[in-house]
Amino acid sequence: LVKDKNGISQLILRNNDASATVSLLGAQVISWKTKRTGELLFLSKKAIFNPPTAVRGGIPICFPEFKNNETREDHGFVRNRIWVIEENPPHLSGDFSAKVYVDLFLKPSKEDAKIWPHSFEFRLRISLTALGILSLTSRIRNVDCKNFSFRIVYHTYLSVSDICEVRIEGLETQYYLDNLLQKQRFTEQGASLTFESEVDRVYTDSNNVLAVRDHYKKRTVIIRKDGLPDTVVWNPWDKKSKFIADLGDKEYQEMLCVDGAALENPITLKPGEEWKGDLELSILLIS
Ligand code: TA6
């Protein structure tokens, strides 16, 4: 455990191949490095580590809401809260591979209930395998006496060499809602998705495996998602960036958000029920 300059604890998961840094602010992974690649996540040089501001970069968990483009609070409050380390987490079935991991836990306070009037327990396991694969498994339990519905987005800021040089494979022929065009519905046409202007889209019911290829850095990030039907793709480009206080004017060139999400159709949990969703990021080097 180390402390950031505001005294908020950060944990470092490390093995022979890789390391990941997790802030207890938002249970947010803010760094993921492998020995072969260096840093794989984008973190803004202007990021603010001071709750209730959410940290710009890494992998913020947006829950229970993810409304489009209004205020930052519309992306849920759990990324603004200090989580605790769960010392005796319940056993996760089927989880036998060698890995280092940490279990984090959040329960809403009375103040949180004024924002979202439902009682839940949120457990997040963040793990790093021997090959440097990063995985984030969320388990959300309804501990209320009535049903509730939520949305969740793993808002994943990848670090890229140059946004104009990367492409996403796995979205071709998929449907998307374009947030820049009043959520109109389109079908992705190209063989892969490339970038030359602002993008803000939700690919609904999209493939569970995507590849983000960065040929300058000679690497591909493979994104695998489970329980997260949708994919958000976002880059604010130059004009929008100027309105984002904690993002440098040119930093959009080095970032790309590709988010596993349950967004289009909210998840409903009955009292006592639990939902599980999993995001896994791994690396392929291009020779
Ligand atoms: O669709 C992605 C998006 O909702 C954009 O509209 C944009 O506002 C972005 O996320 C950034 O969100 P944040 O709350 O982290 O500033």
pLDDT per position as a tens digit, 174-221: 999 999 998 999 998 888 999 999 999 999 999 999 999 999 999 999
Phi/psi at 253 (5° precision): -70, -25
In the prediction, which pLDDT does 67 show? 80
- Centroid of ligand 1 to alpha carbon of 286 (angstroms): 30
- Centroid of ligand 1 to alpha carbon of 151 (angstroms): 14
Quick one: pLDDT band at residue 52, thresholds 50, 70, 90? confident
Can you tell me the distance from the alpha carbon of 132 to that of 130, in angstroms, rounded to the nearest whole number?
5
- Asked if residues 230 and 261 have their Cβ atoms less than 8 Å apart, the reply is yes
* Amino acid symbol at 204: T
Using CA positions, which residue lies closest to atom 16 of ligand 1? 72
153 bridge partner residues: 62, 261
Considering the chain, what is the average pLDDT of its residues? Answer: 93
pLDDT digits (tens, 9 = 90+) for 85-124: 998 776 666 565 668 999 999 999 999 999 999 999 999 9
- Asked if residues 150 and 64 have their Cβ atoms less than 8 Å apart, the reply is yes
Give, in order, the Cα–Cα distances in Å from 197 to each of 11, 157, 172, 191: 36, 17, 18, 18
68 Cα nearest atom in ligand 1: 4
Q: Give the class (CATH, top level) of 2-285.
A: mainly beta
The ipTM assigned to this model is: 0.96
Enumerate the domain spans of the chain: 2-285
Can you tell me the distance from the alpha carbon of 98 to that of 222, in angstroms, rounded to the nearest whole number?
20
Pocket, ligand 1, Cβ cutoff 6 A: 54, 68-69, 72, 75, 155, 179, 200, 232, 234
Half-sphere exposure of 225 (CA within 13 A, CB side): 24
Using CA positions, which residue lies closest to atom 1 of ligand 1? 200
Which residue in this structure is represented by tokens 């130059």? 238
